[in-house]
Amino acid sequence: MTTDTDIRTSDPTGLHRVLDERTVLPQAAQRLDTRRELWSDEVRVRVERLNLDAASFRQLERVHTHDGVTDGDAVRAEVLDIVATRGKMQNPETGSGGMLVGTVEEVGPESPLGLSVGDRVATLVSLTLTPLVIEDGLARWDGRSEQVPCDGYAVLFGRSIAAVIPDDLDPALSLSVMDVCGAPALTARVVEEHVARGARPTVAVIGGAGKSGSLSLAAARAAGAERTIGVVPHQGEHDLLTAAGLADRVAVADARDPVALRDAVTAAGGPADVTVVCVDVPGCEGGAILATADGGTVVFFSMATSFSAAALGAEGLAADVRMLVGNGYVPGHAAYAMELLRSDAGVRALFERRL
Amino acid sequence: MTTDTDIRTSDPTGLHRVLDERTVLPQAAQRLDTRRELWSDEVRVRVERLNLDAASFRQLERVHTHDGVTDGDAVRAEVLDIVATRGKMQNPETGSGGMLVGTVEEVGPESPLGLSVGDRVATLVSLTLTPLVIEDGLARWDGRSEQVPCDGYAVLFGRSIAAVIPDDLDPALSLSVMDVCGAPALTARVVEEHVARGARPTVAVIGGAGKSGSLSLAAARAAGAERTIGVVPHQGEHDLLTAAGLADRVAVADARDPVALRDAVTAAGGPADVTVVCVDVPGCEGGAILATADGGTVVFFSMATSFSAAALGAEGLAADVRMLVGNGYVPGHAAYAMELLRSDAGVRALFERRL
Is residue A222 within 8 Å of residue A347, measured between CB atoms? no
Hey, of B127, B327, B329, which one would you mutate to test binding to chain A, going by the most A CBs within 10 A of its CB? B327
Instruction: Give A53's contacts in chain B (Cβ within 8 Å).
Output: none
Q: Which residue of A has its CA nearest to B319?
A: A329
Q: Do B328 and A321 touch (CB under 8 A)?
A: no
H-helix or E-strand spanning residue A195: helix A182-196
Over its length of 355 residues, how does chain A's per-residue pLDDT go in tens digits? 344 444 678 999 999 999 999 888 898 899 999 999 999 999 999 999 998 987 789 899 999 999 999 999 999 999 999 999 999 999 988 888 889 999 999 999 999 999 999 999 999 888 999 999 999 999 999 999 988 999 999 999 999 989 999 888 888 888 889 888 999 999 999 999 999 989 999 999 999 999 999 999 999 999 999 999 999 999 999 999 999 999 999 999 999 999 999 999 999 999 999 999 999 888 899 999 999 999 999 999 988 888 988 998 898 899 999 999 999 899 999 999 999 999 999 999 999 998 7
Query: What are the beta bridge partners of residue B154?
Result: B45, B132
Looking at the partner chain, which of A305, A317, A330 has a beta carbon nearest the beta carbon of B307? A305
Q: Residue A70: phi, psi to the nearest 5?
A: -85, 130
**Residue A1: its pLDDT value, please?**
39
Among B103, B161, B170, residue whose Cα is nearest residue B130: B161
Is residue A38 within 8 Å of residue A160, measured between CB atoms? no
Going by DSSP bridges, is the β-strand pair B292-300/B322-325 parallel, antiparallel, or unpaired?
Answer: parallel
CA distance A2 to B151: 75
Instruction: Give A32's contacts in chain B (Cβ within 8 Å).
Output: none
Among B98, B96, B101, residue whose Cα is nearest residue B173: B101
Query: Is the four-CA dihedral B145, B148, B154, B159 of positive or negative sign?
Result: positive
The ipTM, to two decimals, is 0.87
User: How distant, in Å, are the alpha carbons of B190, B283, B293, B294, B318 from that of B275?
Assistant: 10, 15, 9, 12, 17
Instruction: Give A11's contacts in chain B (Cβ within 8 Å).
Output: 259
Instruction: Give B25's contacts in chain A (Cβ within 8 Å).
Output: 258, 286, 313, 316-317
User: How distant, in Å, are the alpha carbons of A52, A261, B69, B325 from that of A108?
Assistant: 27, 51, 63, 38
How many Å lie between the alpha carbon of A124 and the closest alpha carbon of chain B?
Answer: 8
